[in-house]
Structure 1
Amino acid sequence: MTTALPKTNAALSTATSAAPLTTEIRVLLEGVSWETFEQLLEETGDQRHQRFAYRDGLLEIMVPLAGHEEPIRLFDQLLAAIIDELELEFRSLGSLTMKNPKQKKGLEPDCCFYIQNEAVVRGVDALDFEVHPPPDLVIEVDNSNSSLNKFPIYTALKVPEIWRLRYGSMTIYHLNAEQSEYKTQDKSLAFSQLPVQELPQFVEQAKKIGQRAAVRELAKRVRQVLADLAKD
């Protein structure tokens, strides 16, 4: 890569004191131009391990470790189990690069999904966020105390729902009606009838009984909830 990045001002964030485990390494660079960010994305390609986020001249480079990637991969399986039990469809696009060039903001989430708008983007290889809707749901694992605040980026992208997994608990955020900020909520927009805040329990359970066993346990839980709803 030929582009010279500006020197870092706040070098490395590993969250060693606040978190029981280091699950990601983050480098925050200041004074980075939007053009440099776009060139960095182009020159590093789609197969790199790092994930980038950019806003207001700040560029975060995040290197996920095992404790970061495992829950993300498991969440993909857990959501697939929920979708199957509800007999719905979804489109899982992982760390899809999402940009708003007009506001010069962009990022790559840990994982993202089209659920409500799956049919709208089904089969679309080149998503254009000036034409297509953003993903319906984004999931972020963030155990670092000095990570870049990504909410302004997601606001610019108009992502309706974010699940943030932090230290083993999950917080649900919805973009407000004015599309100006995110508010914490008790229920999911995508799965309003299900207690999705229980999902981190299945992530922890997978460490004891295995990932597929935890997914099967979740499927049983979903069937139980749906059966109880049918009785009411």
Structure 2
Amino acid sequence: MALVLDPTHARVILHGITWATFERLLADRGDSAGPRLAYDQGTVELTIPSPEHEWLKGTLTQIVDAIAFARDLHYQNLASTTLPRRDLDRGFEPDACFYIQHAAALQNIEHLDLETEPPPDLVIEIDIVNPSLNKLPLYAAIGVPEVWRYTRNGLELYQLQHDHYEPIASSAVLPGISRSDLEQFVDQCRETTHRTAWFKEVVAQSQLSAE
């Protein structure tokens, strides 16, 4: 087993890890707060998010909630739930994920089985430092239709095309919402002193974009 430490972030990379070991890491951590895990065919990444990372994750999650509220959408927010595919030798815990188009297709969210149920329609990933493990191939292998990836350079939107992702200017799972809209919402949140008022404004703007 090889170990790689990333000095710029609370991140550890382990190579030569079996699926059984990955499952034990998940079991040992349980439901308690701990490192976020990703597994890609023998490589494990363990990440402890920074406060800025968590702020961005929470802000983008609230934006999705506001859009769904504005449009009266039936959706499921499964946050950072573990998404394993043993048959693909891959699994990950997204920063946030949502079922929107397939919200009604979930039979049992207590025991999500991605071999028989659809993947999330939207995954949010925060990469504000150089990522050690490229997770886009993971998301593509599992079939996630859309990814929002926030980096130091801003927000990137990707849509799955066959077996890879292509950048897009506007969301496909939330039509009428562009990348610039989302970045504007994030910037407005940074500037506000009243988050509830900001949330209401996102709801109002999202209602207009749907008309």
User: With structure 2 as the length reference, what TM-score do the two structures score?
Assistant: 0.92
- Tell me the equivalent position of 2:203: 219
**In structure 1, how many angstroms separate the alpha carbons of the residues matched to 2:196 and 2:108?**
28
The within-5 A match list for 1:19-58 is 24-58=9-43
- Tell me the equivalent position of 2:169: 186
Shift of 1:147: 2.1
Structure 1 residue runs without a partner (length 5+): 1-5, 15-23, 228-232
Q: Residue type of the partner of 2:25?
A: L
Shift of 1:219: 1.7
The answer to whether 1:206 aligns with 2:200 is no
The answer to whether 1:147 aligns with 2:132 is yes
Pick from 87, 100, 105 the counterpart of residue 115 of structure 1.
100
- Tell me the equivalent position of 1:89: 74
**Does the CA-based 8 Å contact 1:203-1:214 persist in structure 2?**
no
**Does the CA-based 8 Å contact 1:161-1:173 persist in structure 2?**
yes
**Does the CA-based 8 Å contact 1:140-1:163 persist in structure 2?**
yes
Q: Secondary structure at the match of 2:48?
A: strand
Shift of 1:207: 2.6
**Does the CA-based 8 Å contact 1:49-1:63 persist in structure 2?**
yes
**In structure 2, how many angstroms separate the alpha carbons of the residues matched to 1:37 and 1:13?**
23
The answer to whether 1:11 aligns with 2:9 is no
The within-5 A match list for 1:69-80 is 69-80=54-65
Shift of 1:13: 4.2
Q: Give per-residue Cα distances to partners, 1:57-84, cap 9 Å, x unaligned.
A: 2111010011000111122221111111
**In structure 1, how many angstroms separate the alpha carbons of the residues matched to 2:105 and 2:85?**
20
The answer to whether 1:125 aligns with 2:110 is yes
Shift of 1:196: 4.4
Q: Identity of counterpart residues, as a percentage?
A: 35
Pick from 89, 97, 117 the counterpart of residue 104 of structure 1.
89
Q: Residue type of the partner of 1:55?
A: D
Shift of 1:53: 0.6
Number of matched pairs = 210
**Does the CA-based 8 Å contact 2:76-2:98 persist in structure 1?**
yes
- Tell me the equivalent position of 1:18: none
Structure 1 range deviating more: 24-33 or 151-160: 24-33
Shift of 1:123: 5.4
Q: Residue type of the partner of 1:114?
A: Y
Sort the Cα spacing of 1:226 and 1:192 in 2 relative to 1 into closer, same or farther, 3 A.
closer
Q: Give per-residue Cα distances to partners, 1:186-215, cap 9 Å, x unaligned.
A: 221211222243223222322321322221
**In structure 2, how many angstroms separate the alpha carbons of the residues matched to 1:168 and 1:87?**
32
**In structure 2, how many angstroms separate the alpha carbons of the residues matched to 1:219 and 1:146?**
32
**Does the CA-based 8 Å contact 2:126-2:150 persist in structure 1?**
yes
